Amino acid sequence: MNSLLTQSQQKTICSQLGNVKLQLLYKASVHGFTGAAFHQRCDNRCPTVSVGYNNSGYVFGGYTKQPFSQSGQHVHDEQAFLFCFCGDKLCKYPVTSPGYAVKMVSNSGPYFGEALALVNGSKAVAYSNPGNYYNFAAAEMHGNDLNLTDCEVYQVEESTEFEKPWRTIIWKSEQRKELMNSIQNYKPSVSSVSNVRVLLIGPVGAGKSSFFNSVNSVFRGHVTSQAIAGCSTTSLTTQFRTYSLKAGREGKPLPIVLCDTMGLEESTGAGLDIDDISSILKGHLPDRYQFNPSAPLHSGAPTYNKFPGFNDNVHCVAYVIDACKVSIMPRKLQEKLDAIRRKINLMGIPQLILLTKVDDACPVVKEDVRKVYQSGYIKEMMQEAGTRLGMPLSCVVPVKNYSEELELDPNCDVLLLQAVVQMLRFADNYFDEIGDHLSQTEVKK
């Protein structure tokens, strides 16, 4: 159903009620101008905002915290009020006799204290009688035009949207350029390392390959699909791939390599094997190694890199988690992730979480990705992902991969680039931790 109440008018009403949003329950032009249709959809729902519309262009109605019923009784509500709009300005008329704030009438729509009724007598009309329980000027409220073109009733719900972002983020084109430049100009603090190697680990379909494609798209200037990505119940990635990024088609390589792996699966003997992860972390697996879930690569294999350098090691691990599936993660998959995390912890490699598909998980973000840090639901999912993987919220970064778009979106780019910057920062922490040890080793050599 399409709402007749504009976004501006909804925000104005909500500003009177706190951090809330409006959910449309009943629309007379769709469900019928009858008391029965109204009560069927609105009884026992509260708080509510009821709105009438007439041919003269007036928008007017009332608010009550009390649930509607068909008892025939008056209901007490000290917070009830009537209102009308003069443009985007709200004129508000508080209840003067709270004991008679709302009347529950079966053959009518919303009925406010013998003062205003919408869909009165199951007809497309309003009843108006100011002065007893609400004081208002009839001409100001509805222009004395009591014929309704429509009537809507909204439930008032707690909003999952914060007034201000809880993380600072700049959505300007200058910020996008600044992030791109910082990545292009980054240099690892360890001389033996030319590229930061980041390992992407996650369940099948979480968006590991799509993340590489998306970051690659930002630097190429158009949407690309170099890594195989899509929807499947089993992993589309069957090889270990190391993807280098370039600043443009003919540009110089960027100082980061994204390592893509086979997806994790719930069942034993399927998906990425934990022993293969150990080999990847230590730099033993070659690029394009064909995964075999039932038989991890052993040290005697011809392709096994027996003497990897620190440049071949993984310097940061990113768990790629689907925001839509955080709460329904299977127990066995959770156990696999726990085992992997413990192994990586022992090696001292920094870890973070990329929370993907935030637009699919939250309508607020789907409408405007810049609200990702204003969405209470996304913050909740970030917290849950962190809890499941034993990481603080500061290690969780939301991203939106390119999946259906043909052109780049600068706001999506900012999220993706910030994720890459976090990876480089985490790798720097790792280099700082082991820098002294590496220096001593290099001196001995």
Question: What does the pLDDT read at residue 160?
Answer: 72
Structural domains in the chain plus CATH codes? 7-158 (no CATH), 173-444 (3.40.50.300)
> Using a CB cutoff of 8 Å and minimum separation of 24, what contacts does 375-382 make?
375/160, 375/161, 375/162, 376/159, 376/160, 376/161, 376/162, 377/160, 378/323, 379/162, 379/166, 381/323, 381/326, 381/327, 381/355, 382/353, 382/355
* Residue 37 DSSP code: H
**What's the number of CA atoms in the CB half-sphere (13 Å) around residue 380?**
11
**Which one-letter amino acid corresponds to residue 102?**
V
Question: What does the pLDDT read at residue 324?
Answer: 86
* Residue 296 DSSP code: P
Picking from 158, 149, 134, 128, the residue whose alpha carbon sits closest to that of residue 46 is 158
Read off the tokens for 185: 């100009």
Cβ atoms of residues 120 and 126 within 8 Å: yes
Question: What's the rounded Cα separation, in Å, for the pair 326 and 149?
Answer: 45
* Three-class HEC string of 89-114: EEEEEEECCHHHCEECCCCECCEECC
Q: Are strands 116-118 and 126-128 parallel, antiparallel or unpaired?
A: antiparallel
Q: How many residues does the chain have?
A: 445
Cβ atoms of residues 291 and 272 within 8 Å: yes
Cβ atoms of residues 150 and 27 within 8 Å: yes
Alpha helices, H only, 168-273 = 173-184, 208-220
User: How far is residue 5 CA from its own chain's centroid?
Assistant: 25
User: How far is residue 323 CA from its own chain's centroid?
Assistant: 7
Which residue is it, tokens 């003067």? 96
Cβ atoms of residues 53 and 151 within 8 Å: yes
| End-to-end Cα distance, the chain | 73
Per-residue pLDDT of the chain (445 residues; tens, 9 = 90+): 789 999 889 988 988 887 788 999 999 999 999 999 999 999 999 999 999 999 999 999 999 999 999 999 999 999 999 999 987 789 999 999 999 999 999 999 999 989 999 999 999 999 999 988 999 999 999 999 999 999 999 999 887 778 789 999 999 999 999 999 999 999 998 888 889 999 999 998 899 989 999 999 999 999 987 765 555 445 555 678 888 888 887 788 899 999 988 788 766 656 566 777 888 888 888 777 776 666 667 776 777 778 888 888 999 999 999 998 888 888 888 988 998 999 999 999 999 999 999 998 887 898 899 999 998 889 989 999 999 999 999 999 999 999 888 899 999 999 999 999 999 999 999 998 876 665 555 444 4
**H or E element that contains 69:** none
Question: What's the rounded Cα separation, in Å, for the pair 202 and 180?
Answer: 26
* Residue 327 DSSP code: G
Question: What does the pLDDT read at residue 145?
Answer: 97
Cβ atoms of residues 324 and 306 within 8 Å: no
Residue 74 to residues 97, 127, 287, 420, Cα–Cα distance (Å) = 11, 17, 75, 60
Neighbours of 404 (CB within 10 A): 6
Picking from 85, 52, 80, the residue whose alpha carbon sits closest to that of residue 67 is 80
pTM for this predicted structure: 0.65
Cis peptide before 47 (omega within 30 of 0): yes
